[in-house]
Structure 1
């Protein structure tokens, strides 16, 4: 199946190519279910590209894991890194298109394709980026409203703060052991707080926003960091693209912190003001 992808705006790098979308285990679904899953995945790809432009990688592969029983439309998913990064999707086979589209998981995993694999100690950076971008994708593509965006970010930060009180230690160490100690909320949402602070700092200094920088990163740097990369090199690339030290200065402040960042309501609402959302 071929998809003709959206063009990005004139101020961003221009890509003019077709992307191939392939699937594993598609035949395990009925024809009507296949249609729903293709519609959902196409919708997610188009939404991510509307916000973030084209990823560096040519093509998408989805390893489908349909479930007969599930308490939510998409209970679990992950990116599997390789020559072609693929997405493994566990989903309820009887979920409707509307239910699947409203679920955040696909937008999150697609966001991971825009950065390389980081070391475990920097997973707070990777998961924070994908969690932050998923919210922007859903908001900009009218999957969620402005108020839902605010409420989701606020609720997530509250969960992260509570989890930080239970899962103590330096952030980079907690990130390395996230799975063993069940510190997902702290790791993910401290990362989101980092990007909220960075986004507001970029705006204050009249720099390009994060979305613009992620688009540029696909052109300048993603190929040379196709596989594993350190968090510090990633943020240094973003510093260079933004002609600032915003990303690295915040990174060094965050990676060893033991507390949860204080993010105000005003900082969250500032994220969805027109200047921040320019593409």
Structure 2
């Protein structure tokens, strides 16, 4: 009976928590542009919530930087760590709702908000999580198909394998210096491989990374954290040693793991 009540309360907490999206500089767009961007942002927040659960903040500020000449819907974006955390989006002011929806950038940045800001040496975890989850969210919500999901991850892994040939320092060291060395491909996609391996291992227990992250929002997201504390919490929530075992293997690794398309199709 006690366990039932705990599960019931957890379900209520997940389902009732809502977030107010506040879009700054929206008035710089035309009336049609305002409607398009508002719809896109709010739909993206909802789709991300479908996969990862509600964000543990009552307000989500979005700072728009519209551009007149852009070659893609969202040429650049970043997280603005504050109280509350928000996003800065550089957008093509003329992009259609369809074009915005198919773009991965907002899903990537929203995923970042589900983990705390980690030290530079742990950026491979945060960037890997966002790179993996942008594709999981898009797949889960029907924006891309399962074959496209596999293709996108495999393409990222191929880029990382290639860059690992010349950027082969221990991952935590390279992560702290990735901007100077322009080593984003190896750092981002090796981190994504970490979460792929975690998902494959959790599947054997009937769990997923997404489910663990939902629980993490409720118990621990509000606290400051380093990489080791994050990993410890994820192990505790998954009632496993999946994350710590992988962390030991990945944090100082100098190679790229072997992950096949067959394994990606199991996700």
Instruction: Name the counterpart of 1:138.
Output: 138
Q: Does residue 155 of the first structure (1) align with residue 151 of the second (2)?
A: no
Q: How does 1:236-275 map to 2 (within 5 A)?
A: 236-271=232-267
Structure 2 residues without counterparts, runs of 5 or longer: 1-7
TM-superposition CA deviations, 1:163-204 (whole Å, max 9, x none): 111222111111011111111110110001111111111122
Per-residue deviation at 1:53? 1.2
Q: State the 4+ residue runs in structure 1 displaced beyond 6 angstroms.
A: none
* Root-mean-square deviation over aligned CA pairs: 1.5
Q: How does 1:54-203 map to 2 (within 5 A)?
A: 54-203=54-203
Q: Which has the higher helix share?
A: 2
Per-residue deviation at 1:224? 2.4
Per-residue deviation at 1:42? 1.0
TM-superposition CA deviations, 1:124-163 (whole Å, max 9, x none): 0001111111111100111001111111011111011111
Paired residues in the alignment total 259
Normalised to the residue count of structure 2, the TM-score between the two structures is 0.93
SS in 1 for 2:47: helix
Q: For 1:216 and 1:92, how far apart are their aligned partners in 2?
A: 35
SS in 2 for 1:117: coil
Normalised to the residue count of structure 1, the TM-score between the two structures is 0.90
Structure 1 residues without counterparts, runs of 5 or longer: 1-8, 272-279
Q: For 1:114 and 1:18, how far apart are their aligned partners in 2?
A: 15
